[in-house]
Amino acid sequence: MSEHTGEFNTIELAMKLTVAWLSNPNTRVSAAEVTAFLNTMRDSIAALAGSVEATSMATD
């Protein structure tokens, strides 16, 4: 995340969430499940970012 501009990188954030999930000792998954989780996180973050941008534009 870029702390100076207030912008963020969806892929970087999704990667950090995935690493945190994998750090849980109770998480036992296959490579395919990791890929699916990473894609889901990226898509979810992008959707949330789009919602925030749309809301911010509506209030301007």
At 53, list the tokens.
């941008």
CA distance 53 to 30: 35
| Average pLDDT over every residue of 46-53 | 80
Whether the predicted pLDDT of 1 surpasses 50: no
Selection from 22, 23, 44 nearest residue 31 by Cα? 22
Name the pTM for this structure. 0.70
Here the tokens at position 8 are 């963020």
Give the pLDDT of residue 3: 44
